[in-house]
Structure 1
């Protein structure tokens, strides 16, 4: 087949504005290690919504193509293009991919932590008005740069699950890893009832937690949390921080959460996490991405001898683990309930605003659809 020279894409030109459907050029030649992929599925993430709304912004980032959870069919490859496990990527293969790393900086070589790469690059951080133009998910074709973390995908993992593994799922699994995992029979409190919070609820249940609590809103999300393994839920709508923490303590026999994970990022989350954590409990901060300073009661951290851990997204190891997780636990949870009905690029604006209104958990865009 002939290699396309341009692609239709949904471009963000202004925060809070509708995405602009336009044609973007594609590279005439593929670099060694690169791939050109026809996108078959992009699942929208909370980060996409935050960028669209302007909550997450920095000078010079626009225009851009959103979407960093995606899979697709390889239509062309550069010389020596392989996935993260060293497997050759042939034309026609189905792959997923995530951020690029340089492999040369202190984070990559000394710390050996790709998330600490000083030149870490997501597809959505590529401006759409300069080469290579289209590297993200809301595009018919995407240019996968040489240093992007690519994975050949097993047939039994559906597109939506595989796409979500590229950010949301790997972020959750890394957070649990940073906390040292779930102690069997312990109390786990998940702050947030979006896609990450719901997936984290499922992971806690599958991992052997004795009590799993999901704290969030709206009621429809909390009902879904019960289907993903929550023993009880706490609705934060119209409820003060102390009341939320007190309810968590009640549901854990006055003990509190042995492991509390922040997937919400609201300004009050830090204080609430400390208040609802058990003595010598662990708090993992994942969802607090905004620029505002958030006060945390350090006296209580000291008095309870809490462990506070930060966890930033995930790397290729977490990505691979997320794919394996979905393969292993395919039948354990109603994973498909996390995803909306697929729609084309022309519907991307409506779907991202629906997520912003909390009307759906995870929108799905199939650029092959009209």
Structure 2
């Protein structure tokens, strides 16, 4: 097929407004770049917060949402390869991460791409500036030279591989930052969205004796039980700390993970953590949070750790995780039935109202209808 020079895209022009289907220019792929036909984009909580305007900054609009995606290469620039060194060709199915520069303090000295000073998410690309389309809610996307690309194995489904691009790699990195879960330990998961439910499964696979998932609504807590939760705590039911202490027989949780980001997670985490436990903060991206005394951390000798998203190594491990544990849990239950690009606005609004955990957009469905 001829290399596409334009693409249909669902553009966010105003926070909280329906997405605008537009035809946008696609540049020819530069060396190290590729053009990909999107096969699957899974919506993330960050997409919803940007749409709502909770995450916003001057000059970010117009833009295209979607940073968890998978596609097939339809055009490739000279010397384009995947993150593991393999040559990429037309027809390869790939996923890709945000771009990094490889030259700054974070990349070179820290050797932590998540701390790249020029880290570029596809959804931060304005649609009126080249290369225009670098996100998932489009028929085609431009994958920049600095993006770390992964050729995907056949035994990892599109939805799983797409989720690996943010949600799954974020969870796996958080478990690493926490120092791993010791066999037989108690784990409390704050949040019952996609990250919280996936983290519930990861905790159980890691050997936790007891996993408590905290969140709402009831349908998501029921989902968490299918992914390994030994107990669930509905945040609408009263004192969360008291109920966690009750189900852990007064011990508390050896590991507490924040995948919720609510203002109350800090004091609740400190309250429910066991002595010499860990508290790993992942979901608190914007709120200042409720106050709690530092003496409580000192008194319990807690370890408090932050964890920021994930890099290409976390992404690669996420793909390996899904391949290794494909039959362990009903991963497909995390995802809604796929819809075309024209229905993306409806799905975003549904997720904003907790109507589904992980919406799936397949732009090819529009062409087929």
TM-score range, shorter chain: over 0.9
Cα deviation code 1:8-29 (max 9, x no counterpart): 00000111111111111000x2
SS in 2 for 1:38: strand
Partners of 2:194 and 2:294 lie apart in 1 by: 30
Q: How many residues align?
A: 366
TM-score by length of 1: 0.98
Cα deviation code 1:166-190 (max 9, x no counterpart): 0000000000000111100000000
The alpha-carbon deviation at position 37 of structure 1 amounts to: 0.1
Partners of 1:118 and 1:314 lie apart in 2 by: 15
1:317 maps to 313
Cα deviation code 1:219-260 (max 9, x no counterpart): 000000000000010000253xxx100100111110000000
1:270 and 2:266 matched = yes
1:297 and 2:297 matched = no
Cα deviation code 1:132-187 (max 9, x no counterpart): 00000000000000010110000010000000000000000000000111100000
* Runs of 4+ with >3 A deviation: 291-294
Partners of 1:17 and 1:98 lie apart in 2 by: 27
Partners of 2:331 and 2:210 lie apart in 1 by: 21
The alpha-carbon deviation at position 291 of structure 1 amounts to: 4.8
CA contact 1:283–1:308 (8 Å) conserved in 2: yes
1:160 and 2:159 matched = yes
CA contact 2:12–2:19 (8 Å) conserved in 1: yes
SS in 1 for 2:344: helix
1:291–1:249 Cα change, 3 Å: closer
Residue among 330, 334, 337 paired with 1:334: 330
The alpha-carbon deviation at position 299 of structure 1 amounts to: 1.4
1:2 maps to 2
TM-score by length of 2: 0.98
Partners of 1:327 and 1:126 lie apart in 2 by: 31
1:368 and 2:369 matched = no
SS in 2 for 1:129: coil
1:210 and 2:206 matched = no
CA contact 1:274–1:297 (8 Å) conserved in 2: no
2:82 maps to 83
1:18 maps to 18
CA contact 2:262–2:287 (8 Å) conserved in 1: no
Alignment of 1:194-209 (within 5 A): 194-209=193-208
1:260 and 2:259 matched = no
Residue among 337, 343, 348 paired with 1:347: 343
Structure 1 residues without counterparts, runs of 5 or longer: none
Cα deviation code 1:335-356 (max 9, x no counterpart): 0000000001110000001000
CA contact 2:265–2:289 (8 Å) conserved in 1: no
2:150 maps to 151
SS in 1 for 2:135: coil
CA contact 2:8–2:140 (8 Å) conserved in 1: yes
CA contact 1:10–1:20 (8 Å) conserved in 2: yes
Partners of 1:40 and 1:212 lie apart in 2 by: 34
Alignment of 1:216-295 (within 5 A): 216-237=215-236, 239=238, 243-292=239-288, 294-295=290-291
